[in-house]
Amino acid sequence: MATLEIRDLHVSVEADNATKEILKGVDLTVKQGETHAIMGPNGSGKSTLAYSLAGHPKYTITSGTVTLDGEDVLEMSVDERARAGVFLAMQYPVEIPGVSVSNFLRTSATAIRGEAPKLRTWVKEVKEAMERLNMDPAFAERNVNEGFSGGEKKRHEILQLELLKPKIAVLDETDSGLDVDALRIVSEGVNRVRESGEVGTLLITHYTRILRYIKPDHVHVFANGRIVESGGPELADKLENEGYEAYTTKGGVTA
Amino acid sequence: MAEAQNIPVGSTTAGSIAVAAESTVATRMSAPPSFDVADFPVPHGREEEWRFTPLERLGGLHDGTAVATGTGIKVDIDAPEGVTVETVGRDDARLGKAGTPVDRVAAQAYSSFEQATVVTVPKETQLAEPIRIAVHGEGGTAFGHQVVELGAFAEAVVVIDHTGDAVLAANVDYVLGDGAKLTVVLVQDWDDKAVHIAQHNALVGRDASFKSVVVTFGGDVVRLHPRVSYAGTGGEAELFGLYFTDKGQHQEHRLLVDHNKPHCKSNAVYKGALQGDDAHAVWIGDVLIRAVAEGTDTYEMNRNLVLTDGARVDSVPNLEIETGEIAGAGHASATGRFDDEQLFYLMARGIPEAEARRLVVRGFFAELVQQIGLPDVEERLLAKIDAELEASVLEASA
Ligand SMILES: Nc1ncnc2c1ncn2[C@@H]1O[C@H](COP(=O)(O)OP(=O)(O)OP(=O)(O)O)[C@@H](O)[C@H]1O
Ligand SMILES: [Mg+2]
């Protein structure tokens, strides 16, 4: 069973000629089949955690380890991590002018699966996955994320999740910018993947809204660059009622 | 992972819009246009029109030392039925009608060619197949002159391919009758040592449309002057270009659109990618809107993607407006480095770096190719771009 282990992860960025520490010792274990919600206020470092796991070059790991089934993830290049089974659904997916969705999906499925999917079954697979996410088939011929609305970008991320079937899925604010219908459709997509039992999910969110559709096994509160409290689904209810104030004003917790 | 440090040192991306009584495009040249090479001084390299060009690599085309070899460059023309192809002497009245040489090399070519090729598409003829002109160099030096003339309401596509190794200076005239439609696809697929300097003049008839697609991949030095002027009102010119400038290559495209008649349109879009030490791309986009040219609608754009350190781009759009009564005029120029966020996104989907880079560059060009509006030309170009990208390294910059 695949296990992602994050131990004492410290991450910094270079900004304005100074080094700024953003993650200040993150510990977390995510196993295949589990869903962990990471909740925290704006700027607490949630996306930084997501990007660091995926290997974004802007973020420097200053100490700590990340392993997937014992393999050192931090040693891997961005594409190797993806091929090892780490998937990041981005908060702000990137536009790629001139590259069609269909070309992009096929190229990435080929890379992840290690061989080009058979054209016939592939076309059907993509078409059905798009239908389930209520995506117009015309999307396949559009350029990646170009001119997509916020909701369309998120559906496109979940489409990739369904097609690439990772071991560990990091979903960074997949719920933000979605109306209720879109939220339901996207959540159903995530749940289909979860039901396979083969993915460990790290659901990063600011709001509890999405947790009505995607039930987490564990909830972690993220503040000032680390996990400050962990619990079961009931912790989300507490956040819903009380907000993050207790965690942000009590700065001492994270000092 | 690539570091974001491939800043094109010393590059310029300068633009200007001048509202001038007297054309600075004209005064910038060191001599007025002329068919006679003797009217141009030998350039020393600091002249406005030569300052970006490595004169020492021109094989003597600029200083009179280049001598035609008589052999070593083959021209094959494959024309569908209905088209006349003639080889004519220097005194043929149809030569030089679309424009006059504007620099010493073009004048040298005009003064030195011995035979010219005239391709004629009779009026109202619509060709189902393109006219193909294959220029293949086998190490020779040549001065060329070609004319493509379309009668009124004729429609044709001309594909001109340059391959092999040569030192070539040429003038090419495109003469479009009223209402004619001509598309020219001009491919520079030269071997590494080739030197190619040419002036291409289009004279666009009343209500005619001219579309040019310039594709420059190969050669040591390629310097092209695509120029357009109008013979009547209502003419349209679309100038597309793409270039891929590798290590050590100099690729220079100097456009001029002379809006000398009212109610004409022009649109120029050139895109280039550069990689490797001393890759040098130059793009000059001169658009002149003369006092008579009321109702002109023009736009020009140049975009460059710098893939590695050590490459240099000089991009100079220049718009001169002598009348206020225009429909629209604009220009844009941008030179950027490779977008690391795009690379990250693709790699985060398992795509290896080299392949991800190829996808992004292919996409950058595909955006332009999609605008051409001729499916078979688009397909051919994308295949060419794929082959070029396949052949080039496109690895991360150090
Ligand atoms: N590339 C960067 N350069 C400079 N500062 C950065 C960079 N990335 C993140 N930061 C800073 O690090 C902190 C954490 O940012 P991050 O995006 O990880 O927060 P977040 O929890 O995802 O916030 P949100 O809820 O708004 O998405 C912020 O103060 C942010 O400004
Ligand atoms: Mg975030």
Contacts of A95 in chain B (CB under 8 A): 342
B26: confidence class by pLDDT, cuts 50, 70, 90: low
Do B318 and B388 belong together in one domain? no
Helix A150-164 to helix A180-195 angle (10° resolution) is 10
Domain count, chain B: 2
Contacts of A82 in chain B (CB under 8 A): 347-351
Atom number, ligand 1, closest to the C-alpha of residue A225? 14
pLDDT of residue B393: 59
* C-alpha to C-alpha distance for B252 and B138, rounded to whole angstroms: 23
A94 touches chain B (CB under 8 A): yes
pLDDT of residue A254: 43
Helix, strand, coil % over all residues of chain A, rounded to 5: 40, 30, 30
Do B158 and B217 belong together in one domain? yes
Structural domain ending residue among the three candidates B314, B337, B360 = B337
Tell me whether residues A98 and B362 touch, CB distance under 8 A.
Answer: yes
Q: How far is B344 from chain A (nearest CA, A)?
A: 7
Tell me whether residues A111 and B363 touch, CB distance under 8 A.
Answer: no
Do B176 and B266 belong together in one domain? yes
pLDDT of residue B375: 85
* C-alpha to C-alpha distance for A39 and B85, rounded to whole angstroms: 75
Tell me whether residues B344 and A94 touch, CB distance under 8 A.
Answer: yes
B397: confidence class by pLDDT, cuts 50, 70, 90: very low
Nearest residue in B to A143, CA atom: B363
Cα distances from A113 to residues A82, A127, A166, A232, B259, in angstroms, run 11, 19, 10, 35, 56
| Residue A250 Cβ contacting ligand 1 at under 6 Å | no
Asked if residue B66 is part of any domain, the answer here is yes
| Residue A150 Cβ contacting ligand 1 at under 6 Å | no
Contacts of A160 in chain B (CB under 8 A): 349
Cα A192 off chain centre by:
16
Tell me whether residues A79 and B365 touch, CB distance under 8 A.
Answer: no
A2 touches chain B (CB under 8 A): no
pLDDT in tens, A129-181: 999 999 999 999 999 999 999 999 999 999 999 999 999 999 999 998 899 99
| Residue A45 Cβ contacting ligand 1 at under 6 Å | yes
Among the partner residues A79, A98, A160, nearest to B364 by beta-carbon distance:
A98
Asked if residue B15 is part of any domain, the answer here is no
Do B315 and B398 belong together in one domain? no
Indicate the range of A81-85, B1-5, B177-181 predicted with least confidence: B1-5
Contact yes or no for B350/A108 (Cβ under 8 A): yes
A166 touches chain B (CB under 8 A): no
> Structural domains in chain A?
3-96+166-251 (3.40.50.300)
Asked if residue B51 is part of any domain, the answer here is yes
Asked if residue B17 is part of any domain, the answer here is no
User: Any idea which residue has 């990435």 for tokens?
Assistant: A108
Indicate the range of A91-105, B24-38, B60-74, B315-329 predicted with least confidence: B24-38
Atom number, ligand 1, closest to the C-alpha of residue A15? 4
pLDDT of residue B50: 95
Contacts of A164 in chain B (CB under 8 A): 349-350
Do B332 and B344 belong together in one domain? no
**A interface test, pick of B344, B357, B369, B382 with most A CB neighbours within 10 Å:** B344
* C-alpha to C-alpha distance for B217 and B243, rounded to whole angstroms: 6
A161 touches chain B (CB under 8 A): no
Contact yes or no for B289/B322 (Cβ under 8 A): yes
Contacts of B4 in chain A (CB under 8 A): 57
B316 touches chain A (CB under 8 A): no
* Three-state SS letters, chain B: CCCCCCCCCCCEECCEEECCCCCHHHHHCCCCCCCCHHHCCCCCCCCCCCCCCCHHHCCCCCCCCCCCCCCCEEEEEECCCCCEEEEECCCCCCCCCCCCCCCHHHHHHHHHCCCEEEEEECCCCECCCCEEEEEEEEEEEEEEEEEEEECCCCEEEEEEEEEEEEEEEEEEEEEECCCCEEEEEEEECCCCCCEEEEEEEEEECCCCEEEEEEEECCCCEEEEEEEEEECCCCCEEEEEEEEEECCCCEEEEEEEEEECCCCCEEEEEEEEEECCCCCEEEEEEEEEECCCCCCCEEEEEEEEEECCCCCEEEEEEEEEECCCCCCEEEEEEEEEECCHHHHHHHHCCCCCHHHHHHHHHHHHHHHHHCCCCCHHHHHHHHHHHHHHHHHCCCCCCC
Q: How far is B338 from chain A (nearest CA, A)?
A: 12
* C-alpha to C-alpha distance for A169 and A158, rounded to whole angstroms: 10
pLDDT of residue B394: 57
Output the DSSP codes for A84-108: HTEEEE-SSPPP-TT-BHHHHHHHH
B367 touches chain A (CB under 8 A): yes
Residue B28 has pLDDT above 80, yes or no: no
pLDDT of residue B9: 39
B12: confidence class by pLDDT, cuts 50, 70, 90: low
Among the partner residues B348, B362, B366, nearest to A54 by beta-carbon distance:
B348
Do B58 and B177 belong together in one domain? yes
- Region B275-297 average pLDDT: 95
Nearest residue in B to A113, CA atom: B350
Do B367 and B308 belong together in one domain? no
Asked if residue B88 is part of any domain, the answer here is yes
What pTM value is reported for the model?
0.84
Do B81 and B131 belong together in one domain? yes
Asked if residue B53 is part of any domain, the answer here is yes
B21 touches chain A (CB under 8 A): no
| Residue A205 Cβ contacting ligand 1 at under 6 Å | no
Structural domain ending residue among the three candidates B337, B359, B382 = B337
Nearest residue in A to B2, CA atom: A57
Tell me whether residues B348 and A83 touch, CB distance under 8 A.
Answer: no
A189 touches chain B (CB under 8 A): no
Nearest residue in A to B367, CA atom: A98
Asked if residue B21 is part of any domain, the answer here is no
How many residue pairs bridge chain A and chain B with CB atoms within 8 Å of each other? 90
Quote the ligand 1 centre to A95 CA distance (angstroms).
20
Contact yes or no for B143/B68 (Cβ under 8 A): yes
| Residue A113 Cβ contacting ligand 1 at under 6 Å | no
A250: confidence class by pLDDT, cuts 50, 70, 90: low
- Chain mean pLDDT for chain B: 90
**B interface test, pick of A52, A75, A78 with most B CB neighbours within 10 Å:** A78
Tell me whether residues B341 and A143 touch, CB distance under 8 A.
Answer: no
Do B264 and B361 belong together in one domain? no
Residue B218 has pLDDT above 60, yes or no: yes
Structural domain ending residue among the three candidates B306, B322, B337 = B337
Contacts of A103 in chain B (CB under 8 A): 359
Among the partner residues A56, A82, A96, nearest to B350 by beta-carbon distance:
A82
Q: Which domain holds residue B388?
A: 340-398
B373: confidence class by pLDDT, cuts 50, 70, 90: confident
Asked if residue B350 is part of any domain, the answer here is yes
Contacts of B344 in chain A (CB under 8 A): 54, 56-57, 78, 94
Residue B19 has pLDDT above 70, yes or no: no
Output the DSSP codes for A199-221: -EEEEEESSSGGGGTS--SEEEE
The ipTM estimated for the assembled molecules is 0.95
| Residue A44 Cβ contacting ligand 1 at under 6 Å | yes
Residues less than 5 Å from ion ligand 2, measured at CB = A 46-47, 91
B336 touches chain A (CB under 8 A): no
Do B344 and B304 belong together in one domain? no
The residue count of chain A comes to 255
Do B187 and B112 belong together in one domain? yes
B14: confidence class by pLDDT, cuts 50, 70, 90: very low
pLDDT in tens, B227-282: 999 999 999 999 999 999 999 999 999 999 999 999 999 999 999 999 999 999 99
Do B107 and B170 belong together in one domain? yes
